[in-house]
Amino acid sequence: MDTNFRKFLERIVTKKVTFFLLMDIALLSLAMFASFLLRFDSHVPSEYRQYLWYFILASLAAHLSVFWWQGLYRLSWSYVSVFELVKIVKATILGAIFLAILLFVFKIFYIIPGFPRSIIFVNHFLVLIFIGGLRSLKRIYYEMIHKERLVDNARGEDLIERDQVELDKNLIRQFLFQKRVLITGAAGSVGQELVKQVIPFRPRQLILVDQDETGIFDLNNFCLAVPQERQTAKKIDFHCVVANILNKSKMQRIFKKYHPQVVFHAAAYKHVPVMEQDPCEAVRNNIIGTWILAKIVLKNRVDKFVLISTDKAVNPTSVMGVTKRIAEILISYLNKKQQTKFMAVRFGNVLGSRGSVVPIFKEQIKQGGPITITHPEMERYFMVTAEACQLVIQAGAYGQGGEIFVLDMGRPIKIVDLACRLIQMSGLRPHKDIRIVFTGLRPGEKVIEEVLTAEEGTQATQYRKIYRATLNSDLVDEQFLILLHELVILARQGKKIAVKEVFKKMVKNYQTC
């Protein structure tokens, strides 16, 4: 059998082609029949009525051959764009021309009698409406579904294909029910989601702390609306507070006033390129801020302290990553005080959070491109915000102090693949409608992130997506404290180079890029 003919048959039997071919046959037949009804006000003369099947067969032969030639059966109709619509218009015009030629040939050879030329024009517009409408339906349906999903975190889940988290709700209820819970960085993406995930477990109080005044304003409005919408939240006492974790006296007053029993510490500087430019500020917020907060927690005998960490703390090459690594070591050291159970939860990039690639890519697509990516092989672990926060709460409920929990983030995803998927979901074509430009790695960036160092091992927990890492540090407690004090002094003096040298002493795997 000829190779081209075999390929032709293979294409014919595919589900998508078969569906559109059969639908086109039906719609083209309907369009020709409707053309005669419209032309003759629903009363088709008998001299045309008996030849109607010839007109329909001529239309099918003309249009289907042109549609195949123009590639209408090879295009993806999930993402209809201007390109695809132009293809349809072009194909229907060519089909109408081909149909006109066939009908005149039929007339010359007396296969059919003469016919009104207006039939060709009426039929063309009906074919355009029917064929274009059919191929737009999938996109319209797709858009309707995704507009509903924009209100929750399913989408992106659409982008990274993650399974739904199964929570041990009984354990979490024991952890949070009627407890006083404080969340730092509460106005950030992770902080806000933590608030939403904690509410159903009915804590007695939620103390929400952030230095972002506008963020706290929005959070306060959300909290005011909650009792009207959720019966489970009627007895929760909300307190939204503008405060910087570096303001020791303010934080002490907050703890003295509200006496929190559980603390989720989500306040941090997270943007790698920005922190590379100002390592002293990264130390102040990510390390000193954590230290100040942790000492207040110890003084007030808080039950549990959960640090939100990052996969960038593993074999760190960035200032942001190394400061979070030192924060992990710090809470491990403080856990030995045995007054509060300290633990950290380490996960990757939160898809859709402020400053993450998805909002950036969406804005670049809106502007017509290009999408900028630093490296063609760059991979990252991604989680949707809801999943990350659910697992943080689960780990906090399960932890007994001193653990570094690592969340199962699935397989790493190539950033360029993520960009292509977003472009397609916008109804456009990667590399054609929207260009992708590679700009080169920025300071502190890795091509591929890791979740564990070579020295760390993991132990499975009873929860499928949560693992326990063994935190190894070559420093004894006295060395760690000496270097920590030195780091604090240098950061306050603004000595960037000296700060990075201390990083190398505190975290042996730290390497500057």
Residues with catalytic roles: 312
CA distances from 497 to 153, 281, 289, 312, 316 (A): 41, 13, 21, 21, 17
Q: Which run of H or of E encompasses 389? A: helix 385-398
Neighbours of 390 (CB within 10 A): 22
Torsion angle of C-alpha atoms 327, 333, 337, 340, degrees rounded to 10? 40
3-state secondary structure of 482: helix
CA distances from 19 to 16, 71, 378 (A): 5, 15, 38
Let me know: does 322 contact 510? Beta carbons within 8 Å: yes
Residue 132: which residues within 8 A CB-CB, separation 6 or more? 85, 88, 89, 92
Let me know: does 91 contact 24? Beta carbons within 8 Å: no
CA-wise closest residue to 390 among 214, 217, 157, 208: 157
Distance in angstroms (rounded) separating the CA atoms of residues 289 and 242: 15
What residues pair up with 343 in beta bridges, in sequence order?
306
